[in-house]
Amino acid sequence: MSAPAKPKKRKKSAGGQILELIVIVAIALGLALVIQAVLVKPYRIPSPSMEPTLDINQRVLVNRIGMDFSDPEIGEIVVFHPPQGAEDNQCGNDPDPGQACGRPTTEKSDQNFIKRVVAGPGDALAIRNGRVILNGKLQKESFIEPCQPGQECNFPDPIRVPAGHWFMMGDNRGASDDSRFWGPVPKDWIIGDAFFTYWPPERIGVL
């Protein structure tokens, strides 16, 4: 007795194949948008303020969920919303001569900035020749671009970073508009930490 014949597989029509392709592409795009909105977001470096660590037009990936579970750490590179008026170096208080801005304006800007965290809540911070003095100790910052003597590079009188705020500075200390001029940043304004650079190819690597 012969075995029953196997049913022939039905070939998909051209229209069915196109529909399947459209569905696959739509799902892939949807996943990409969800990943970018919730998990990881690409960011382009717009200025020389983070040189020599990050150059203009270099691309990095930003972890958008890390700040939901932990506080920023000193030394991390983060993307954040600066306070309103940062583009004009507006400070939320009137600092004494020789002091950096100790408090931001009350509203956040829609802009995105990328800087390095150099001090956290409760820290005493002063700046000498562009280098951070944190709680009385001069920090080892081999990654910075040296700062030329000048007003923007020297804030010798310490300020105290307010609770829930982090002080941000660019690595290119003589060419960075940062917390020295518009104050520390509340945690709620921090988007996430930059953890990987993917462009240009010769700069690919972990930050």
| pLDDT greater at residue 204 or residue 1 | 204
pLDDT level of residue 35 (50, 70, 90 thresholds): very low
Marked catalytic residue, from 41, 115, 176, 179 = 115
Closest CA relative to residue 77, chosen from 47, 54, 103: 54
Average pLDDT over residues 8-37: 55
Average pLDDT over residues 73-91: 96
Domains of the chain: 43-206 (2.10.109.10)
pLDDT value of position 28:
47
> How big is the CA angle at 86 (ends 176 and 92), to the nearest 5 degrees?
120
State the CB neighbour count (10 A cutoff) for residue 190: 20
Closest CA relative to residue 78, chosen from 111, 112, 52: 112
Marked catalytic residue, from 6, 9, 11, 49 = 49
Average pLDDT over residues 24-33: 49
Based on the residue annotation, tell me whether 47 is a catalytic residue of this protein. Answer: no
pLDDT value of position 175:
92
pLDDT level of residue 125 (50, 70, 90 thresholds): very high
> How big is the CA angle at 67 (ends 62 and 71), to the nearest 5 degrees?
125
Based on the residue annotation, tell me whether 12 is a catalytic residue of this protein. Answer: no
The share of the chain scoring above pLDDT 70, in percent, equals 80
pTM score, whole prediction? 0.82
